[in-house]
Amino acid sequence: MFWESFSNELDSKTFIFDGDDIYTFEEIFSLADALYKNIEIRSVVLIESERDLGTILAYIGALRNYSVPLLIDAHSAESTIDEIVKNYKIDVVFAKKNRTYVDYNFVSRSFGFQIYERFGEPGVKPFDQLAMLLPTSGSTGEAKCVRTSYKNLDEATMSIMRYMNMDSSRISISSLQFHYTYGLSVLNLALASRSKFVLTKRSWIEREFWSSLELYGVTDLSGVPFMFQTLRRMKLSEKILMNLKCVNQAGGRLEPKFTEYFIDYFNAHDISYLTMYGATEASPRISYVPAGRAKEKLGTVGLPLDIGKLYTDAEDGKSKGELIYEGPNVCLGYAFCRDDLAKGDENNNILKTGDIGYVDEEGFATIVGRKKRFVKVFGMSVNLDALESIVKSIAAESVVIGEDDNVKALVTASVPLNEIKDKVMSQVTFPNKGLKVLSIPEIYLNASGKPDYPKLTKEFL
């Protein structure tokens, strides 16, 4: 497995650039192992994650200790964190703030964490192949997690590494959060390929982010659609363009006109531009568009990984229908509480994506819609029904509609709109600009007496 020590000279190479501090793979492994020295194997650990060294050590240490990490945004509402700690009977909490947890003792401070251990009756032992947990809709504070196995994680990472031609000469950067499956995948690729990784908390709109690309000679850049919309208005320096080898876009649909712009822009500088499609349930990749065919296959989500198959539920497996992915990187299933962690493989390598699309004669898939009410908000998966429940707790007569990067809460209540938004945003973790609250005279209903979402969407979205 790629997180284990290699018996060659690669582990002595530089891994992490953290400001003025530089760490080799051996040093990171040593620090990560030390962090888990007194933690029992198969412990379930909650990691309040940021783009920092502590998060990397806690994550890698968990995998090497045969414990089960659950990564969550360090800036999540305390109620969200408390709910997860309670539901999963977390054994060890790596917290970013001093807090009081019922049934937990404070143990130590290390690498920016306050570490707490649970006492009392232990929870069930996790299934022996369970490697990690990732919230599938953590942006709305739900306790639902994807159960990922060691094989899922290893197979997906090695397949992505092959199609990206990753080797130890490459240099990536932390452009995405680690609690987000895409961001974690970028870290996993650097770890698997024994390549360099630059730590930064800066965003694409900050000059310091691009200064880091120049300073460290970053070769690989990954982003979600709204990042590329920002990049469209920027001009990269010749130094950055000279060093870049591969630019990757995933986390939702980017308008084809923007995709075409970036294909042309980066190709002109001999830089590969890859559009990718995936899901947390696929650890996290399903398909990609080969750089050499990007213009020809514009608008598609590409070919499946070399370890899997992608087809629809139509009779011929190609015509319009729900896209289904089959491969060894498909997760074990879902979890809602600690007892679920004892479950084995419930998916048998098959994932119904919930996306509606079709597959052409060459195997390239195109998505035309979604089966359920899930959208991507700045790269984060948001369950509109779960978000609607939050809004209804504040303003009972309300509905939520949305599309990628554009979610609206429609309310008929007299509660001030800014007050509603403030209360909702305190319970979710996607960016503030991802939600608008509108006052409407009435909520349209269909013949069944349920909200008429198509009509509401057509009029207000």
Q: Please state, for a pLDDT cut of 90, what percent of the chain lies above it.
A: 75
pLDDT in tens, 7-59: 889 999 999 999 999 999 999 999 999 999 999 999 999 999 999 999 999 99
- Name the residue with higher pLDDT: 318 or 450: 318
Question: Rounded distance, CA 222 to CA 201, Å?
Answer: 14
**310 alpha carbon, distance to own chain's centre:** 21
Q: Are residues 402 and 315 in the same domain?
A: no
- Identify the burial level of 335 via C-beta atoms within 10 angstroms of its C-beta, where 0-12 means exposed, 13-18 middle and 19 or more buried: buried
Q: Please write the tens of the pLDDT for every residue from 110-134.
A: 999 999 999 988 899 999 999 999 9
Single out the residue of 400, 456, 392 nearest to residue 430, CA to CA.
Answer: 400
Identify the band that residue 428 occupies on the pLDDT scale cut at 50, 70 and 90.
Answer: confident
Closest CA to 70 of 49, 56, 54: 49
Type of residue found at 190: A
CA-to-CA dists, residue 457 to 399, 408, 443, 452, 453, angstroms: 10, 9, 11, 9, 6
Q: How far apart are CA 214 and CA 212, in angstroms?
A: 5
CATH of the domain at 396: 3.30.300.30
- My answer on whether 113 and 95 are in the same domain is yes
**Do 378 and 241 fall within a single domain?**
no
Region of 308 please: left (phi>0), alpha (psi -120 to 50) or beta: beta
Calculate the average pLDDT of the chain: 93
Tokens 């990564």 belong to residue? 71
Answer yes or no: do 227 and 301 share one domain: yes
Strands 333-335 and 309-312: unpaired
Number of structural domains (the chain) is 2
Say whether both 215 and 354 belong to one domain: yes
| 301 part of a folded domain | yes
306 and 341 belong to one structural domain: yes
Examine the domain organization and report whether 362 and 241 are in the same domain: yes
Q: Which residues of 293-308 are buried (b: 16+ CB within 10 A; e: fewer)?
A: ebeebeebbbbbbebb
pLDDT tens sequence across 224-249 = 887 898 898 899 999 999 999 999 99
Domain-embedded: residue 118 = yes
Domain's final residue, options 367, 390, 408? 367
Pair of tokens at residue 245: 């080898």
Question: Would you say residue 411 lies in a domain?
Answer: yes
Section 56-85 average pLDDT: 94
403 shares its domain with 346:
no
230 within a domain of the structure (yes/no) = yes
> Averaged over 308-337, what is the pLDDT?
97
Q: In 3-state terms, what secondary structure has residue 122?
A: coil
Q: 239, 301, 234, 300: which is closest to 262 by C-alpha?
A: 234
For residues 29, 32, 36 and 37, what is the CA-based torsion angle, rounded to 10 degrees?
60
- Residues 106 and 115: beta-carbon distance below 8 Å: yes
pLDDT tens digit string along 434-460? 899 999 999 998 755 678 888 999 999
339, 367, 395 - which closes a domain: 367
Confidence of residue 137 (pLDDT cuts 50, 70, 90): low
Based on the domain organization, do 145 and 42 belong to the same domain?
yes
Residue 4 lies in a domain: no
- Residue 142: per-residue pLDDT: 62
Residue 399 and residue 361 share a domain = no
The answer to whether position 410 is within a domain reads yes
> In this model, does residue 369 exceed pLDDT 90?
no
Q: Does 17 or 393 have the greater pLDDT score? A: 17
| The pLDDT value given to residue 449 | 60
Q: Quote the pLDDT of residue 397.
A: 86
Phi, psi of 299 (to 5 degrees): 95, -15
List the CATH number of the domain containing 141.
3.40.50.12780
Q: Is residue 246 part of a domain?
A: yes
Residues 295 and 441 occupy one common structural domain: no
* pLDDT for 175 beyond 70: yes
Last residue of a domain, one of 367, 401, 420: 367
Q: Determine, yes or no, domain membership for 1.
A: no
Q: Which domain holds residue 406?
A: 374-460
- DSSP element (H, E) containing 265: helix 256-267
Residues 276 and 423 in one domain: no
